[in-house]
Chains A and B, each alone.
Chain A
């Protein structure tokens, strides 16, 4: 595909990204973390705010992420009509999986007394992923990086909900996690295959990852910046530890997993 039409792009913090997908009026779409609301209740430890409002916020965030994942997979199908059929089929299956996830989370949110649009949302993943014009780079960004990271998050969050006595939400997240493993795994497999067939794939992936890092840096909160709940954003940032078992199932190499563990501060265990 060619680069996105300028009419389909927008500039956020000086970086040109793909304009967000369509949203109903009930959703408030924001462009910065500072406009989201997380972890405001001082009664809870960092990263463990499980107040009633924060529970709904957590489910709402997962739900919106899943909806965004449907849209990204669908846009890949639309943007790359010449991609190998088997790869398009994987993306089509992903559309179904993500739609089931979003549906289950919407149902759960409503059971908890919430509804779609209750909290602000961002299009961070879409903005970045759908800006790049290589399907391999999109797989590297969305499936391998964002969904790979989501595997780490979902494991931590499932435990968090279970510790809080909410077995229903914990099991829901674990069910979603097992599907996400497959989305990351097919991306890993296809990236290897595409790179083998055409070495230029690696260049496209490297360019895509560099773009992702540039946008992530541009979007990063400024020092001392607070979010919509009044909490300092740096205090709400708590990267989840690497989910080693699921990353193995998703066919990350042992070296890649070791690199992630070093990032987490467990270098002595893997060196």
Chain B
């Protein structure tokens, strides 16, 4: 047995909220990052995550929620997003976004895909599979850029590892889960 309509709607609306925040984060960083190539990377990725937010918002409506409905994630994840957004150093921003946040989300999509009914919830499955594909490409693009401009790869390993661990410890992102 897969997830209920309510469970699915809440998960989708929460992921939508997260993607709107990711879009705003990249948008805020674009003018304040000095490096031209980083601005160009962010410009493309703003559109990618905006499209994901849009697809999730449409799907939330199909799951009995208002159009483009968002649900804030659990407090620890909201704090993590705010913490990352406040980061000022470009190398740390890149590491936080592409080495911690996106890979962490990819694990959550896979977890959702493992739990949902692939036929009943096929529209969500398709959206998440597309997001996995595009967001893994975004991570690859960031790695290429950081190999081309080594100064952008100078975030301290221990700091990144701690962020990855902080993200992992959050667990389920849905604030209403279990209620």
Q: Which A residues lie at the B interface, using CB under 8 A? A: 21-25, 67, 70-71, 74-75, 77-78, 81, 85, 88-89, 92-93, 95-96, 98-100, 102-103, 106, 116, 126
Q: B26 contacts A74, CB within 8 Å?
A: yes
A-B contact count (CB 8 A): 87
Q: B33 contacts A74, CB within 8 Å?
A: no
Given contacts A67-B36, A93-B47, contact A81 B24 (CB under 8 A): yes
Output the nearest chain A residue to B26 by Cβ-Cβ distance: A74
Q: B27 contacts A74, CB within 8 Å?
A: yes
User: What residues of A have a CB within 8 angstroms of the CB of B46 in the complex?
Assistant: 74, 77, 92, 95-96
Q: B23 contacts A77, CB within 8 Å?
A: yes
Given contacts A67-B39, A74-B27, A78-B24, contact A95 B32 (CB under 8 A): no
Chosen A-B contacts, 13 in total, with CB atoms closer than 8 Å, are A22-B34, A24-B34, A67-B39, A74-B27, A75-B31, A77-B24, A77-B46, A78-B28, A92-B46, A92-B50, A95-B27, A95-B46, A98-B43
Task: Give Cα A85–Cα B68 distance, bound, in whole angstroms.
Answer: 8
Task: Give Cα A71–Cα B35 distance, bound, in whole angstroms.
Answer: 12
Q: B36 contacts A71, CB within 8 Å?
A: no
Instruction: Say which residue of A23, A77, A99 sits within 8 Å of B27 (CB atoms).
Output: A77
User: What residues of A have a CB within 8 angstroms of the CB of B30 in the complex?
Assistant: 70-71, 74-75, 95
Q: B50 contacts A99, CB within 8 Å?
A: no
Q: B40 contacts A22, CB within 8 Å?
A: no
Task: Give Cα A103–Cα B40 distance, bound, in whole angstroms.
Answer: 7
Q: A116 contacts B47, CB within 8 Å?
A: no
Instruction: Say which residue of B36, B42, B54, B57 sits within 8 Å of A74 (CB atoms).
Output: B42
Q: Which B residues lie at the A interface, using CB under 8 A? A: 23-24, 26-28, 30-36, 39-44, 46-48, 50-51, 54, 57, 68
Q: B31 contacts A99, CB within 8 Å?
A: no
Best-surrounded residue of B40, B41, B54 (most CB of chain A within 10 A): B40
Output the nearest chain A residue to B67 by Cβ-Cβ distance: A85
Best-surrounded residue of A71, A95, A103, A106 (most CB of chain B within 10 A): A95
Q: A93 contacts B44, CB within 8 Å?
A: no
Q: A106 contacts B68, CB within 8 Å?
A: no
Q: B28 contacts A99, CB within 8 Å?
A: no
User: What residues of A have a CB within 8 angstroms of the CB of B44 in the complex?
Assistant: 95-96, 99-100
Given contacts A99-B39, A102-B40, contact A85 B54 (CB under 8 A): yes
User: What residues of B have a CB within 8 angstroms of the CB of A75 in the complex?
Assistant: 27, 30-31
Task: Give Cα A99–Cα B46 distance, bound, in whole angstroms.
Answer: 10
Q: B50 contacts A93, CB within 8 Å?
A: yes
Instruction: Say which residue of A78, A89, A116 sits within 8 Å of B36 (CB atoms).
Output: A116
User: What residues of B have a CB within 8 angstroms of the CB of A106 in the complex?
Assistant: 36, 40
Q: A24 contacts B43, CB within 8 Å?
A: no
User: What residues of B have a CB within 8 angstroms of the CB of A22 in the complex?
Assistant: 31-34
User: What residues of B have a CB within 8 angstroms of the CB of A77 in the complex?
Assistant: 23-24, 27, 46
13 extra A-B contacts, CB within 8 A, seeds A70-B30, A74-B28, A93-B47: A22-B33, A23-B34, A24-B36, A67-B36, A74-B27, A88-B23, A92-B23, A93-B50, A95-B46, A96-B43, A96-B48, A99-B41, A99-B44
